[in-house]
């Protein structure tokens, strides 16, 4: 049990699910820092007030991100958590580790910090919780020796993250891990040195299932999709029917755009009406698969409700072939234009989606040099967010 008297924290042990308190109790036996952490947390629960001071100038030499400064305002009572800084460590693409490297990271943190971790933070980084200012640089050096770098925090490019992609998923329409890694390398400067009005996030999803929820959680969302027809294995469809699946009720009737038919023998899809919702493919993975002409859709402007309300991303580039180096180069150029415009016109702590709302999408597209297209929409089956003027259409016809 706790070294300090912590009756309110003890209550958390009585619930049906594992509690972080149980782990803290274990660690406090060897870490005085955790004993004080428990004490301060108990105080916070009793007083209903947080006792952490956040921010400041702590960090590692030359970097403006990766360390989140945290100090206790009860330093006299809990001196071992006077400093309790968090370190964000750039995770491997799609969070693949060997058990050996996990042991090494645990050893580094046991030596230099509290031993407490959060695997993983909501941005995707490994989060190492609680160390002192003096231990930041040694921890950074030890992590670097094992091939790890710090992630992003503050007004920087946050650590890019991706779904498992083709490493474990047959529906991946592009190599999310490779693109995530390439972007991380390409934008090292933006990741470590704050030059933006506020944070900027990339997230990479291999298919419209969007397992990393990039459409809601990243400023630039890169979601795999396909251009041609859904692949159908009619023999496998028959197997599903034979096994008892009610294909009409469970697949056809639920299709949001009603683009599918089932005649008792096979499935037919009107692919022009398909909105790539992935429902049918998810339900019948052996019979249906994304098409063969695969790439991604680029969306922009999502954010969680920290400053203003939450925003979902809107389509910026309807389709990009990520296997074509020229198209990827064009994407990097577009990102540079977006960041330039944002840097020039963005207010302090204004996300890119908020800037677009403020200046209007048409002004924004013109500024970044992107031609409007009818496929630029804010949601499937929606009208384009660009209104094409009649006179322009007439001019084009002439």
CB-based contact 295:322 (threshold 8 Å): yes
Instruction: Based on the shown chain and the rule CB under 8 A, indicate whether residue 139 belongs to the binding site for another protein.
Output: no
Beta carbon nearer to another protein, 343 or 374: 343
* Residue of 149, 134, 178, 142 whose CA lies nearest to 90: 149
Instruction: Based on the shown chain and the rule CB under 8 A, indicate whether residue 195 belongs to the binding site for another protein.
Output: yes
Q: Among 55, 285, 309, 380, which residue sits at the site for another protein (rule: CB under 8 A)?
A: 55
Q: Which residues contact 126 (CB under 8 A, 6 or more apart)?
A: 88, 89, 91, 105, 117, 118, 119, 120, 151
Number of residues forming the site for another protein (CB under 8 A)? 35
> Quick one: which segment of 3-11, 39-47, 50-58, 260-268 binds another protein (CB under 8 A)?
50-58
Beta carbon nearer to another protein, 151 or 165: 151
Token digits of residue 385:
């967010």
CB of 140 to another protein, least distance (A): 14
Q: Among 21, 41, 68, 313, which residue sits at the site for another protein (rule: CB under 8 A)?
A: 68
Q: Which of residues 325-384 bind another protein (CB under 8 A)?
A: 340, 343-344, 346, 348-349
User: From residue 89, how far is each of 19, 139, 181, 222, 242 by CA, in Å?
Assistant: 24, 11, 14, 23, 50
What burial class does residue 313 get, using C-beta atoms within 10 Å of its C-beta: 0-12 exposed, 13-18 middle, 19+ buried?
buried
Instruction: Based on the shown chain and the rule CB under 8 A, indicate whether residue 194 belongs to the binding site for another protein.
Output: yes
Q: Which residues contact 288 (CB under 8 A, 6 or more apart)?
A: 230, 231, 232, 233, 267, 280, 281
Determine the 3-state secondary structure of 192 from DSSP: helix
The separation between the first and the last C-alpha atoms of the chain, rounded to the nearest angstrom, is 83
CB of 200 to another protein, least distance (A): 12
Q: How far apart are CA 73 and CA 54, in angstroms?
A: 10
Q: How far apart are CA 128 and CA 119, in angstroms?
A: 9
Q: Among 65, 113, 290, 295, which residue sits at the site for another protein (rule: CB under 8 A)?
A: 65
Q: How far apart are CA 23 and CA 118, in angstroms?
A: 12
CB-based contact 250:324 (threshold 8 Å): no
* Residue of 278, 178, 165 whose CA lies nearest to 226: 278
Q: Which residues contact 206 (CB under 8 A, 6 or more apart)?
A: 162, 163, 164, 165, 166, 169, 171, 172, 173, 174, 176, 224
CB of 46 to another protein, least distance (A): 23
Instruction: Based on the shown chain and the rule CB under 8 A, indicate whether residue 103 belongs to the binding site for another protein.
Output: no
CB of 348 to another protein, least distance (A): 6
Q: Among 154, 165, 224, 353, which residue sits at the site for another protein (rule: CB under 8 A)?
A: 154
Q: Among 14, 17, 47, 57, which residue sits at the site for another protein (rule: CB under 8 A)?
A: 57
Instruction: Based on the shown chain and the rule CB under 8 A, indicate whether residue 51 belongs to the binding site for another protein.
Output: no
> Quick one: which segment of 1-9, 75-83, 316-324, 382-390 binds another protein (CB under 8 A)?
75-83
Q: Which residues contact 304 (CB under 8 A, 6 or more apart)?
A: 216, 217, 310
> Quick one: which segment of 5-13, 52-60, 203-211, 287-295 binds another protein (CB under 8 A)?
52-60
Instruction: Based on the shown chain and the rule CB under 8 A, indicate whether residue 153 belongs to the binding site for another protein.
Output: yes
Beta carbon nearer to another protein, 154 or 224: 154
Q: Among 16, 18, 62, 325, which residue sits at the site for another protein (rule: CB under 8 A)?
A: 62
The DSSP H or E segment spanning 353 is: helix 352-359
> Quick one: which segment of 148-156, 213-221, 272-280, 322-330 binds another protein (CB under 8 A)?
148-156
Q: Which residues contact 223 (CB under 8 A, 6 or more apart)?
A: 205, 207, 208, 210, 214, 215, 296, 297, 299
> Quick one: which segment of 108-116, 187-195, 215-223, 354-362 binds another protein (CB under 8 A)?
187-195
CB-based contact 285:278 (threshold 8 Å): no
Beta carbon nearer to another protein, 152 or 208: 152
CB of 117 to another protein, least distance (A): 21
Token digits of residue 311:
């925003």
Q: Among 156, 212, 280, 338, which residue sits at the site for another protein (rule: CB under 8 A)?
A: 156
Instruction: Based on the shown chain and the rule CB under 8 A, indicate whether residue 261 belongs to the binding site for another protein.
Output: no
Instruction: Based on the shown chain and the rule CB under 8 A, indicate whether residue 193 belongs to the binding site for another protein.
Output: yes
- Site residues, another protein (CB under 8 A): 53, 55-59, 61-65, 68-69, 71, 75, 82-83, 133, 153-156, 189, 193-198, 340, 343-344, 346, 348-349
């Amino acid at each position: 049990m706790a070294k300090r008297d912590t009756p309110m924290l003890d209550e958390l042990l009585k619930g049906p699910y594992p509690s972080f308190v149980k782990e803290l109790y274990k660690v406090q036996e060897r870490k005085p820092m955790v004993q004080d952490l428990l004490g301060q947390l108990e105080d916070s629960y009793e007083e209903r007030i947080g006792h952490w001071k956040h921010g400041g100038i702590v960090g590692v030499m030359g970097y403006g991100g990766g360390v989140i400064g945290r100090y206790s305002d009860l330093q006299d009572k809990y001196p071992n958590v006077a400093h309790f800084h968090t370190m964000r460590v750039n995770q491997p693409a799609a969070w693949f580790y060997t058990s050996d490297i996990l042991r090494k990271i645990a050893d580094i943190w046991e030596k230099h910090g509290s031993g407490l971790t959060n695997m993983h933070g909501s941005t995707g980084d490994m989060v190492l919780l609680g160390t002192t200012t003096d231990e930041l640089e040694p921890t950074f050096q030890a992590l670097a020796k094992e091939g790890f770098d710090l992630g992003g925090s503050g007004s920087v490019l946050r650590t890019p993250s991706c779904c498992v992609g083709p490493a474990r998923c047959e529906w991946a329409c592009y190599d999310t891990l490779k693109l995530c890694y390439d972007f991380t390398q390409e934008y090292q400067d933006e990741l470590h040195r704050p030059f933006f009005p506020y944070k900027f996030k990339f997230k990479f999803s291999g298919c419209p299932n969007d397992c990393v929820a990039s459409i809601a959680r990243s400023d630039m969302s890169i979601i795999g999709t396909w251009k041609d027809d859904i692949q159908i294995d009619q023999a496998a469809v028959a197997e599903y029917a034979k096994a008892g699946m009610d294909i009409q009720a469970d697949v056809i009737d639920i299709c949001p755009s009603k683009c599918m038919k089932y005649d008792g023998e096979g499935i037919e899809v009107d692919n022009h009406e398909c909105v790539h919702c992935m429902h049918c493919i998810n339900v019948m993975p052996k019979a249906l698969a994304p098409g063969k002409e695969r790439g991604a859709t680029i969306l922009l402007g999502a954010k969680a409700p920290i400053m203003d309300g939450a925003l979902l991303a809107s389509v910026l580039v309807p389709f990009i072939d990520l296997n074509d180096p020229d198209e990827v180069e064009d994407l990097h150029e577009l990102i540079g234009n977006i960041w330039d415009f944002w840097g020039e016109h963005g207010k302090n702590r204004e996300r890119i989606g908020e800037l677009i709302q403020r200046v209007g999408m048409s002004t924004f597209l013109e500024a970044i040099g992107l031609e409007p297209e009818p496929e630029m929409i804010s949601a499937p089956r929606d009208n384009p967010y660009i209104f094409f003027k009649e006179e322009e259409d007439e001019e084009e016809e002439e």
